[in-house]
């Protein structure tokens, strides 16, 4: 287990790759706080047995960061203020994931039958929220929950100014690139939040998935390549539109996800909602998804 001062880094299986994520454990002498619960469940349970967990904090509502909330039914759980006030129900989550936007009521109904029960249960157990941009003290450890929207509307990145640590959660520098594919995601906000992370006085950037710990210089270099993927997606989509592809045709190519994975309805949903965002950014409006000429430039 890696540790920077009082902050322990708890890995998820497979280098914390989705559907898992990295968790942080703040060992601030009097108060023990776990940030996100996507790490290996046996490690999390062991932590609880060895040192205790007084409070769980979720950076955002996605299941890879909240999935093991259910292991700690008696522990207080907080999420950011925006997502605490979001309907964390099947309907609310299916709207945020683009299910309603892409497939309407029938899609929501179908998804409601398929969604793992734990996904919603892990959210309904959340019983409080934290404010953004305010200092919290857990024992002697000070944390600010920065509002870093783009990935989701409410995502916060916990920043420890005294320790020079920031937990960048899903600003994760993976080769997949930025994810803003829910209806509550936004490309422009994503870029702003990424720039804000770079502007912090931080020595350690800890991502929620795969790569792990970066120093500031490494994080800066990785961020340039990471954000560049947004421009590459723009270019690819613009080229296909110029060739006369319809919206439905565009969504079968595999701009975000590998083509073969688009047979899974959730990936196809995210592929579609992601492409919509780029089309909007490029100045196109989808008029009718299956007509051959569907894009209208503003």
Pick 170 or 189: Cβ nearer Zn ion: 170
Pick 188 or 235: Cβ nearer Zn ion: 188
- First-to-last C-alpha distance (Å) of the chain: 52
Nearest residue by C-beta to Zn ion?
Answer: 62
Minimum CB separation from Zn ion for residue 145, in Å? 15
Pick 148 or 246: Cβ nearer Zn ion: 148
Minimum CB separation from Zn ion for residue 179, in Å? 7
Pick 169 or 246: Cβ nearer Zn ion: 169
Binding site for Zn ion (CB under 5 A): 62, 170
**Which whole-number Å values give the CA distances from 207 to 174, 210, 230, 244, in the listed order?**
9, 7, 19, 39
Burial of 177 from C-beta contacts in 10 A (0-12 / 13-18 / 19+): middle
Place of tokens 């205790």: 52
CA neighbours closer than 13 Å in the CB half-sphere of residue 27: 13
Could you tell me if 65 and 59 are in contact, meaning their C-beta atoms sit under 8 angstroms apart?
yes
Pick 62 or 144: Cβ nearer Zn ion: 62
Minimum CB separation from Zn ion for residue 196, in Å? 17
Look at phi and psi of residue 98 and say left if phi exceeds 0, alpha if psi is from -120 to 50, else beta.
Answer: left
Minimum CB separation from Zn ion for residue 155, in Å? 7
Q: How many C-beta neighbours within 10 Å does residue 212 have?
A: 17
Minimum CB separation from Zn ion for residue 9, in Å? 18
SS3 6: coil
């Amino acid at each position: 287990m890696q540790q920077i001062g009082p902050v322990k880094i708890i890995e998820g299986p497979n280098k914390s790759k989705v559907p898992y994520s990295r968790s942080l454990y703040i060992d601030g002498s009097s108060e023990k706080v776990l940030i996100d619960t996507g790490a290996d469940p046996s490690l999390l349970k062991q932590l609880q047995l060895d040192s205790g967990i007084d409070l769980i904090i979720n950076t955002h509502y996605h299941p890879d960061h909240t999935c093991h909330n259910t292991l700690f039914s008696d522990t207080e759980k907080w999420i950011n203020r925006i997502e605490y006030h979001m309907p964390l129900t099947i309907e609310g989550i299916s709207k945020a994931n683009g299910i309603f936007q892409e497939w309407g009521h029938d899609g929501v109904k179908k998804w409601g039958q398929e969604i793992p029960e734990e996904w919603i249960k892990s959210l309904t157990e959340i019983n409080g929220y934290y404010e953004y941009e305010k200092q919290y003290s857990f024992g002697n450890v000070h944390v600010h929950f920065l509002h870093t929207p783009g990935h989701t509307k409410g995502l916060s990145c916990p920043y420890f100014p005294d320790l020079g640590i920031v937990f960048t959660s899903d600003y994760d520098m993976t080769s997949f690139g930025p994810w803003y594919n829910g209806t509550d995601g936004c490309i422009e906000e994503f870029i702003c939040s990424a720039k804000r992370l770079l502007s912090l006085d931080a020595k350690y950037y800890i991502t929620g998935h795969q790569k792990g710990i970066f120093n500031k210089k490494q994080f800066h270099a990785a961020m340039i390549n990471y954000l560049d993927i947004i421009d590459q997606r723009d270019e690819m989509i613009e080229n296909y539109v110029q060739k006369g592809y319809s919206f439905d045709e565009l969504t079968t190519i595999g701009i975000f996800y590998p083509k073969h994975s688009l047979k899974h309805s959730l990936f196809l949903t995210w592929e579609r909602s992601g492409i919509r965002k780029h089309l909007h950014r490029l100045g196109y409006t989808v008029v009718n998804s299956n007509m051959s000429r569907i894009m209208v430039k503003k």
